[in-house]
Amino acid sequence: MSSSRPISVLLCLFVLVCLCACAVHADSRQGKNKPPKDGSNVSASVDIGLSAPIPGGMINAGISIGDARHLATRYNLTGTKPLPPGIRKNLARGKPLPPGIAKTRLPEPFVGQLPHHPGYEWQQAGADLALVVSGSLVISDILEGVFD
């Protein structure tokens, strides 16, 4: 039985080395200093310490799509065309607002009814409502179809 113990230790070490090698290989396929294409690691340092963080250091909008749509209807802000598909696919959490989006100023009474998050602002992006980091315009949360 004493000879089986070193074999199990060696087998465990071998498995551990193989797992580490797989993890290193997976990281190397991401590219040199490039974040993943899904934007999941783009803004990990943006956390400002609010109570509703979501993965990546961002915060949640704090309002449902249905409630935001109800407010948009009340302020006659519906009927907006959605973004073209090429621009819409670039609208994602952790990424900045695409440069091709025309900036539409939302009415103050409407914005006043939305949850307030210090350091963030609300932006309209086609038919969607986005919560973005002030200054950098990195998207923290998107409410799709609010202004349809």
Q: Within 13 Å of residue 20, how many CA atoms lie on the same side as its CB?
A: 6
Domain boundaries, the chain: 1-34, 45-143
d(CA 22, CA 16): 10
Of 17-31, 64-78, 96-110, which gets the smallest average pLDDT?
17-31
d(CA 5, CA 10): 9
Q: Which pLDDT belongs to residue 48?
A: 34
Main-chain dihedrals φ then ψ at residue 124, nearest 5 degrees = -90, 135
Q: 137 vs 11, which has greater pLDDT?
A: 137
Q: What are the structure tokens assigned to 147, written together?
A: 């202004």
Amino acid identity of residue 95, one-letter, is: K
Q: Is the per-residue pLDDT at 27 higher than 90? A: no
- pTM recorded for the entire structure: 0.62
**Mean pLDDT in residue range 135-148:** 94
Sign for the pseudo-dihedral over CA of 145, 40, 123, 102:
negative
Q: For the segment 32-64, what is each residue's pLDDT rounded down to a tens digit?
A: 444 444 444 433 333 333 334 445 567 899 999
Region of 126 please: left (phi>0), alpha (psi -120 to 50) or beta.
left
Q: 112 vs 88, which has greater pLDDT?
A: 112
Q: Give the pLDDT band (50/70/90) at residue 98.
A: confident
Q: Which residues does 137 contact at the CB level (< 8 Å), separation at least 6?
A: 96, 97, 123
- Give the mean pLDDT of the chain: 75
Q: 91 vs 10, which has greater pLDDT?
A: 91
Q: What are the structure tokens assigned to 96, written together?
A: 């900045």
Domain 45-143 homologous superfamily, CATH: inner membrane protein cigr (3.10.450.160)
Whose structure tokens read 């797989």?
22
